[in-house]
Structure 1
Amino acid sequence: MLRTYKFRLYPTTEQQEKIGFTLERCRLLYNRLLEERILAYKTEGKKLSYGQQANTFSERKQHIPTLKEVHSQVLQDVARRLDKTYQAFFRRVKNGEKAGFPRYKSISRYDSFTYPQSGFTFEGSRLQLSKIGEV
């Protein structure tokens, strides 16, 4: 059974900046991964999968040092989101529905990130988020 918790957070100003920084890195990564998928299909006619893109994260962190400041599972979830979007797009095309190709995300359209398995702990009434701090 999966459980999801939703809490109202009261971050400090510094933590708000870190959360904003994390959201911006995730948004930029999402847009870059989307661009790579589009380019790979247009130039080579091949489709990139989640695994192919997720395997490039260690190399990306060497070239883009700011990605090191975001928890690894948060970055993996960005690639999962994009893969899920593509799967939904192709499912709708197959069923003859109005498809709606995946779009680039603006700041206002990317407003959350996920810690799927680790990177967070509950300590009393506080939530400890990896690379952000105790909120």
Structure 2
Amino acid sequence: MERRKVTYRLYPSKTQATALADLLRHHQQRYNACLEQRIDAWRRAKVSVSYADQCAELTALRRECPDWAVANCSSQQITLRRLNKAFQAFFRRVKAGQTPGFPRFKSLKRFPGDGLPSVRAA
């Protein structure tokens, strides 16, 4: 099966551009908060926080705080998967004896964007 990447060019109005910028900021903050959670859990109690743990916490957070339910749940999970993928790559490089490159906090300028679930054509 062939995979393709599709890029869409958007021409948003000022209101839409503001909403998109807020959405991007939300995903960037979620990524950084989850990275901080993993680092703190390891430093304090030597406990690893998994993707599944953070998804369960996301569900509870979305229920309790409507501000966090602004973005689509699937796109928020993709942001969590992006962080999980960074940690998997880090541990793979450590195991292989390469320069590990620990996952970094992302500024808004260095954050690649939110993830949208792919839609498969029937």
TM-score of the two chains, using structure 1 as the length reference:
0.81
Q: The residue matched to 2:109 in structure 1 has which SS? A: helix
Corresponding residue for 1:36?
A: 37
State the AA in 2 paired with 1:3.
R
Give the Å deviation of 1:117.
Answer: 4.1
Q: The residue matched to 1:108 in structure 2 has which SS? A: coil
Extract structure 1 runs of 4+ deviating beyond 3 A.
Answer: none
Corresponding residue for 2:77?
A: 76
Q: Which has the higher helix share?
A: 2
CA distance in structure 2 between the aligned counterparts of 1:99 and 1:72, rounded to whole angstroms = 31
CA distance in structure 1 between the aligned counterparts of 2:73 and 2:22, rounded to whole angstroms = 15
Whether 1:100 and 2:101 are equivalent positions in the alignment is yes
User: What residue ranges of structure 1 are gaps of 5+ in the alignment?
Assistant: 119-135
Corresponding residue for 1:9?
A: 10
Give the Å deviation of 1:49.
Answer: 1.0
Give the Å deviation of 1:66.
Answer: 2.0
Give the Å deviation of 1:63.
Answer: 4.6
Corresponding residue for 1:23?
A: 24
Give the Å deviation of 1:64.
Answer: 3.8
State the AA in 1 paired with 2:21.
G
State the AA in 1 paired with 2:30.
L
RMSD after superposition = 1.4
CA distance in structure 1 between the aligned counterparts of 2:117 and 2:42, rounded to whole angstroms = 29
- Identical-residue share of aligned pairs (%): 35
